[in-house]
Chain A
Amino acid sequence: NAGVTQTPKFQVLKTGQSMTLQCAQDMNHNSMYWYRQDPGMGLRLIYYSASEGTTDKGEVPNGYNVSRLNKREFSLRLESAAPSQTSVYFCASRGRGTTGELFFGEGSRLTVL
């Protein structure tokens, strides 16, 4: 039972490089989210998608773009990486009508040099 799968798990980039984090869920959930987690800052929402075909900004969207490719997949793109984007990135999904339980992936650890 895969749940939420993120790739890659680890990545090192140089400043200015671009990359895409991939996320896929197999629970037929409508809503998907991208968070970043930094020491002492907790989880901060970058972007979310309430349903296929829609995306909205979260708390810290600057420097990121997202694509909801289909119901299963939600990708996060860094067009020109900066050291401030060094973080652990989590994708999550939530089904319709739930109390708010999010199902998280295992995280993608990104270092920008």
Chain B
Amino acid sequence: QKEVEQDPGPLSVPEGAIVSLNCTYSNSAFQYFMWYRQYSRKGPELLMYTYSSGNKEDGRFTAQVDKSSKYISLFIRDSQPSDSATYLCASPKAAGNKLTFGGGTRVLVKP
């Protein structure tokens, strides 16, 4: 079993819809979590990170962590075609440690 798992998608939504992405993890040592966005033929870039259970908002993006169920979510409100990308969740087991990545979910936002 991979330590961080995601549904590979693709997840196709119309422009303006809410995109809901999920990630599960198996290792309780994971203390904080990150979402990376990767456009086609580009390297991943950090989108958001969150340290603890609860929500964190940044513009149209909300990251949510439920440590009791080992579940991480990313919501994108008012989705735009420019949000079409692969979204990867990741976590280090401790501060400064190597990141473990999920497989990524491909999102397509259709105009």
Contact = CB atoms under 8 A, between A and B. Distances in A.
Interface of A: 4, 33, 40-45, 48, 58, 90, 92, 97, 99-102, 104-107
Contact of A101 (B4, B43, B49, B102): B49
A41 B6 CA distance: 10
* Contact-residue bracket for chain B: 20 to 34
Contacts of B63: none
A43 B89 CA distance: 11
6 contacts: A42-B103, A45-B99, A97-B96, A100-B95, A102-B99, A106-B42
Contacts, number: 53
The winner among A43, A44, A92, A104 for most chain B CB atoms within 10 A is: A43
Contacts of A33: 98
Interface string B86-111: 00101010011111011110000000
Contacts of B49: 99-101
Nearest to B89: A42
A10 B51 CA distance: 37
B32 interface: yes
A62 B99 CA distance: 19
